[in-house]
Amino acid sequence: MKTQLIEKLNNRTATIGIVGLGYVGLPLALRYLEVGYPVLGLDIDQNKVDQIMGGQSYIKHIPSEPIKAHVDSGKLQCTTDFTKAAEADALILCVPTPLNKHREPDLSYVISSLEMLLHSLRPGQIISLESTTYPGTTDEELMPRIEQAGFKVGKDIFLVYSPEREDPGNPDFNTRTIPKVCGGVTPACMETGLALYGQVIDQVVQVSSTRAAEAVKLMENIFRSVNIALVNELKTAFMKMDIDIFEVVRAASTKPFGFMPFYPGPGLGGHCIPIDPFYLTWKAREYDVATRFIELAGEINTSMPYFVVNRAAEVLNEFEKPVKNSKILLLGLAYKAEVDDDRESPTYRIMELLEHKGARVFYNDPFVPEIRPSREYAHYAGRRSSPLNDDYDLVILCTAHMVYRDINLNKIGVPILDTRGFFPDVDGKVFRA
C-alpha cells in the first residue's frame, strides 16, 4: 500500500486534496497543479469555492489567470462536499488554529475538518497537517481519531506534520523555494511524506518526529516575537532619550556578523506571530515549565497598540485637541505592507482603543477597500476605506504600504503619527510612535 502510494506521488498521478483554500492552501494547490498533479480543493466556505471555480482569485498577490486555466483544464476541482475526500490520495490540512478568548489553543478547525474527512477515508491515503500547533497535536489528537475509525497509522493511513511557511507578498521566496520541514508518525509515514512534498518543493527537511516538526514552526515564530518585543521595548526607552530607534537599527545592521535587524511597530499581526508563542506556553504548563521569556515578549507586543494610542493623545494635545471627538485616519489595515491580509492586524486594536476614548476613527487601505467579516472584529465588517485628505485631526501610519510614499507631506495640513519609521522626519508634521 505504501509502495503504491509513493509511486503515484512520484509519477504525479496522485490526486492532491487541499483542505482549506486560504492564504496557505490556495498557493499550495497552485504549486501542485503547476507540476501536473490533479487537485481537489475542500473548503466549508461556499463563496470561496464558487470564486475559485469561477476562475477568480480572492487574494491580492495570487493572480486569477492560473486558477482559471486549471479550472478550465479540469485539473482543479473545488467543493464543500467533504465526502469527495475519498477521491484524493493525499489530504493536506491548511485550516486556521487561532486562540480562544483565554489565549488558549483553539483546535476546533483542525478537529472538525478531520472529523468531516473520517467517513471518507480509505486505506492508501496520506494525511498531512500544516496548521501551526503545539508539539503533540498530530499524535495526540489526529492519530487516535484516525485509528478509532478503523485504520492503522503507518500501515493503512500515513500521517505527517509539515508546517506551512508562507510569507504573503514576499517577492524573494515562494511555495517552491521555501524549504519544507516534515516529520512522520512512523518511518513509513515519513517516507510517504517525503514523496508527497519532494515533487513540488526544492528542499524537504526531514526531522525525527511530528513533535519535532511542530516545535520547529513554533521556534521560528517565537524567535521573531521575542526579537520584535526587544526592539519595541528599546523604542520606548530610546524615545525618552530623543533617539530614533529606526536610525539605530539601520546603523547596527551594518555589522556583518552577530546582528539581525528587527524593526518595531504598532503591534504584531498576521496568523502566526501574535498567536504561535501562546501555543507553546499553554503546552509547557502541562510539563510544569514556565516560559517567562516568551510570555514577557507577548505582553510587550500586545501592549504596543496602547503605546500608539497614548502617543496619539500626546500629539493631539500639542495641537490643543482632545482625543474625544477628534477625527483620526489610520493608514493601513493589513497586518504588513503590500498584502490584503488583515488577520490579527494591530490596526484593529488601535481602532477599538481610540473609539473607546471617544475618537471618530476611519481607515485607509488600497488593498482592503472594505472590511470583511472576521471572528474577532465582526462589528467592523462592511466599513469602507476612506480617502486621505485634510479633513482629519490626526493621521496614524500603521502599515507601510509603498503607495503612501506618494503622500506630499508639505501639502497635508494634518499631523502624522508614524509607527513604522516610514516617513522622513519633518518638524511639526511627522511624529514617531
Catalytic residues: 272
- Comparing CA positions, the residue from 378, 389, 388 lying closest to residue 331 is 388
CB 145 within 8 A of CB 290: no
Half-sphere exposure of 296 (CA within 13 A, CB side): 8
Question: Angle CA(389)–CA(395)–CA(396) in degrees, nearest 5?
Answer: 145
DSSP 320-356: T--STT-EEEEE--SSSTT----TT-HHHHHHHHHHH
What are the beta bridge partners of residue 93? 19, 129
User: CA gyration radius for the chain?
Assistant: 23
Q: What letter does residue 45 receive in the DSSP assignment?
A: -
Q: Are 159 and 189 in contact (CB under 8 A)?
A: yes
CA dist 235 and 376 (Å) reads 28
Which SS3 state, helix, strand or coil, does residue 18 take? strand
